[in-house]
Amino acid sequence: MAARTTRIGILGGGFGGLYTALRLNQMDWGMDGRPEIILIDQRDRFVFLPLLYELITDELQTWEIAPPYEELLANTGIQFCQATVMQIDVVENVVHLAEQPPQKFDSLVLALGGQTPIPDIPGVKEHALPFATIRDAYRLLARLRQLEQSERESIRVAIVGGGYSGVELACKLSDRLGERGRIRIIERDSDILKQSPEFNQKTAKAALSDRQVWLDLDTTVESIAADSLTLRHADQVDAIPVDLVLWVVGTQSSELIRALPVPQTEQGCMQTTPQLQVVDHPHLFALGTTATCAEQPDLPKTAQVAMQQADYCAWNLWATVCDRPLLPFKYQPLGEMLSLGTDQATLSGLGLELTGPLAHITRRLVYLYRLPTLEHQLAVGFNWLTRPVANVLSAWR
């Protein structure tokens, strides 16, 4: 009787999940040892989140930053299943899906990503827009077009959150709206980008100042209405008029993850060993925003970390199947890049400090290299090279 094929289930098709699957596909499994690899995600497209901001200014197109999974996995042995995960049995390794039969696996990778926390503040759920998915970007674009087509003299935008997303959104929106834009960042802390290198922080502040983006520091949101925002600074409460509120205040684990009977932190992140295995559950691997390791508790919840974890996760899954030693994850910080408007960026890392158009080009090339497959890299790279020529020809017509 032939040996049963090992089944590996990967829940979540973000940087952690998709890149783990692709790396597994490249491993040497021998003649008969190749497992069945199934990637499960509720959406049909992967989203390269660091480039999502470029949709706002029409610098990039949807297909470039959000290719379909079926396209990315077409030339691999990886199966893709578009479905919503309803429940995970971490003892039996059974995944219950909406409107589909349960799936049983030998090993599971939990890389479901996080979600934007929505606090119990009046009006946040009804009137504030998150910015973490293609759907969020489309909602924002639709609202911007509506405001731009109106006869109002100014368009007032409030961005709650002074981290990476808040700063990049502010610069992109300022460049899009031009003189009509009245943009402010609301940050509850005493400064923006507190985890960033000093060079990037200084450059970002200069970019915001040049665009006349207002910073409300040490400020919290009391409530949001359809056309106003109530803020508290020290002991003073003020209501200001606003046309659009964006809510980008970090990320948290989903309720599905927080409900699992596994060791977790107070923030709802699964606790893992250095080998990325969930504590007390060696056949369960976790990475990205849903996991934390006691040996490296302060890792940033970024795509860079998730992609590095994916390499280790794939190796350790291979080692588990092939009876080889597992490797502890070691994060190698490669620097930080931020987009600061159209054709502008800042970069700090590996001994380099760049800003302006050169940083923008470097950032694009780095992300081009990190796109998930060679075929997609070539298609996007060719489009980037030929687009300026196409724009010139279009202008001559």
Contacts of 264-273 with CB under 8 Å at 24 or more apart are 265/292, 267/292, 270/110, 273/328
Could you tell me where in the chain the CATH 3.50.50.60 domains are found?
Answer: 7-114+252-322, 124-247
Asked if residues 46 and 16 have their Cβ atoms less than 8 Å apart, the reply is no
CA 17, CA 11: separation in Å to the nearest integer? 7
* For residue 48, pLDDT beyond 70: yes
For 243, half-sphere exposure in the C-beta direction (CA atoms, 13 angstrom radius) is: 19
Residue 83: predicted pLDDT = 95
Are 17 and 10 spatial neighbours (Cβ–Cβ below 8 Å)?
yes
Region of poorest pLDDT, from 29-43, 120-134, 318-332: 29-43
CATH of domain 124-247: 3.50.50.60
pLDDT value of residue 393: 46
> Does residue 253 surpass a pLDDT of 50?
yes
pLDDT above 60 for 391: no
Mean pLDDT over residues 343-360, rounded? 93
Whether pLDDT at 19 is above 80: yes
Residue 392 scores a pLDDT above 50: no
Higher pLDDT, 28 or 312: 312
Decide which of 395 and 53 is more confident.
53
Strand, helix or coil at 298? Answer: coil
Q: Which amino acid is at 281?
A: H
Q: Is residue 216's pLDDT more than 60? A: yes
Q: pLDDT tens digits, residue range 168-192? A: 999 999 999 999 999 999 999 999 9
Sequential DSSP letters for 212-266: T-EEE-SEEEEEE-SSEEEEEETTEEEEEE-SEEEE----EE-HHHHTSSS-B-T
Which is more confident, 394 or 149? Answer: 149
In the prediction, which pLDDT does 206 show?
97
Q: Share the mean pLDDT of the chain.
A: 92
- With a cut of 50, say whether residue 45 has pLDDT above it: yes
Residue 274: phi and psi, rounded to 5, are -60, -20
DSSP 178: G
Please say if the pLDDT value at position 26 is more than 70: yes
pLDDT above 60 for 220: yes
Q: How far apart are CA 214 and CA 221, in angstroms?
A: 16
Whole-Å CA distances, 267 to 77, 290, 374: 36, 10, 37
CATH number of 7-114+252-322: 3.50.50.60
Strands 128-129 and 236-241: unpaired
